Amino acid sequence: MPIKYLGSKRRLVDVIGAMFTATGGGRALDLFTGTTRVAQELKRRGGHVTAVDRARYAAVFAESAIATAAERIDLETLDGELAALDALPPRDGYVTDVFCRQARYFRPENGARIDAIREAIEARRDHPHFPVLLTSLIEAADRVDSTTGVQMAYLKQWAPRAHQALALRRPDLLPGPGTAVRADACALVASGELGAFDFAYLDPPYNQHRYEANYHVWETIVAWDAPVHYGVACKRDELRDRSATSVFNRRRLMPDALARCIEGVDATVTVLSYNDESWIALDDLVALCRPRGAVEVLAFDSRRYVGALIGVHDRNGRRVGTPNRLRNVEYLVVSGAPAAVEAAAAAVPGTRAAVRP
Ligand SMILES: C[S@@+](CC[C@H](N)C(=O)[O-])C[C@H]1O[C@@H](n2cnc3c(N)ncnc32)[C@H](O)[C@@H]1O
């Protein structure tokens, strides 16, 4: 079960999967993979998937779910390792001190278990189970956290789930090979090293929300480098350096970066996620896709991510406002070879939006 994640395409996974199958499957790219939810669906449908993201934790999820071939893992051994890690005695460390006492993302009893388990996993760094064990730990920590969904603040009163004991479970593993890459999407596309794909899915951030900052606790659990931290959220010191922020989080740079990715990805059909909270207009996005061939825009009315609903409560859980919109529209912009675009659009239930010629 993937972690709680802003922009996770939980509701569109089946739609994107159906498009992939309708266009004949094959080699697939998920260029901003996040939780790997979409990449997993494409792999489940028989695709050879390359999953890319610049966040450390996302690359670990991709190593586990996409690059690990389930048939090569001895599940009994893996489950034994998870049980042994789960049974380790708690041990106070960075997570307990910084994320449970200075900040309050987890109850200290869970934090001390995260410290003990993460330290033990470090000894397995070069083992094929490493990303699987680490994914299991992050997913377990996510189930007992005390946030509204992002790690920029924590609840003043512990969330009810934070009182549950941390419990490791085996993460989803899928048969077959795949590729995980931790990289900046623009640089990777420009390098020409990605290769050619039958199907590419692009789901970049479209506004200022920085994923490494929103999920800095996962970054630190992966890096395991006890970083200097700042602010009440105890964010990694490196996040102060705005020049290292993804171009997709910088209003002036984002349109050009996106244009270069759309232009540079070598794929028969490309599907772009877009929503109406973006810095770029849908018409402009369609114009960027035009040179790829045919373009179809599909609209899906979906409930907003739950974080938008709980964001109207203060840190004591009191209601302090009303969400301005409870529904928003998600778009998929499909472009590429005309027959493939038509097959993709015909396979799914979304409303076809009018596209200016
Ligand atoms: C909207 S989220 C993707 C969500 C994903 N489709 C899912 O269902 O979980 C955008 C992702 O882009 C990643 N990202 C941001 N800037 C990037 C860049 N320059 N290169 C690669 N990945 C980037 C973020 O770390 C984040 O995981």
pLDDT tens, 147-200?
Answer: 999 999 999 999 999 999 999 999 999 999 999 999 999 999 999 999 999 999
Q: Is 206 touching ligand 1 by the criterion CB < 6 Å?
A: no
Q: Is 277 touching ligand 1 by the criterion CB < 6 Å?
A: no
Q: Is 56 touching ligand 1 by the criterion CB < 6 Å?
A: no
Q: Is 61 touching ligand 1 by the criterion CB < 6 Å?
A: no
Q: Is 99 touching ligand 1 by the criterion CB < 6 Å?
A: no
d(CA 221, ligand 1 centre) in Å: 19
Nearest CA to ligand 1 atom 11: 32
- Residue from 13, 53, 212 whose mutation best tests the ligand 1 pocket (most atoms within 8 A of CB): 53
- Over residues 51-80, the pLDDT tens digits come to 999 999 999 999 999 999 999 999 999 999
Q: Is 34 touching ligand 1 by the criterion CB < 6 Å?
A: yes
Q: Is 248 touching ligand 1 by the criterion CB < 6 Å?
A: yes
Among candidates 220, 222, 236, 345, which has minimal Cα distance to 295?
345
Report the pLDDT value the prediction gives residue 295, as an integer from 0 to 100.
96
CB atoms within 10 A of CB 197: 23
Listed as ranges, residues in the chain with pLDDT below 70 are 302-327, 354-357
CB atoms within 10 A of CB 227: 18
- Residue from 207, 248, 275 whose mutation best tests the ligand 1 pocket (most atoms within 8 A of CB): 248
Report the pLDDT value the prediction gives residue 317, as an integer from 0 to 100.
46
What span, in angstroms and rounded, lies between the C-alpha atoms of 305 and 150?
A: 12
d(CA 109, ligand 1 centre) in Å: 32
Which residues neighbour 202 within 8 Å (Cβ) at sequence distance 6 or greater?
Answer: 31, 32, 261, 262, 265, 270, 271, 272, 273
Which atom of ligand 1 is found nearest the CA of 9? 8
What span, in angstroms and rounded, lies between the C-alpha atoms of 332 and 276?
A: 12
CA dihedral 214, 215, 216, 217 (to 10 degrees): 140
Which atom of ligand 1 is found nearest the CA of 35? 9
What span, in angstroms and rounded, lies between the C-alpha atoms of 89 and 180?
A: 33
Report the pLDDT value the prediction gives residue 313, as an integer from 0 to 100.
43
324, burial (CB in 10 Å: exposed 0-12, middle 13-18, buried 19+): exposed
Report the pLDDT value the prediction gives residue 293, as an integer from 0 to 100.
96
d(CA 294, ligand 1 centre) in Å: 25
What span, in angstroms and rounded, lies between the C-alpha atoms of 221 and 238?
A: 15
d(CA 203, ligand 1 centre) in Å: 6
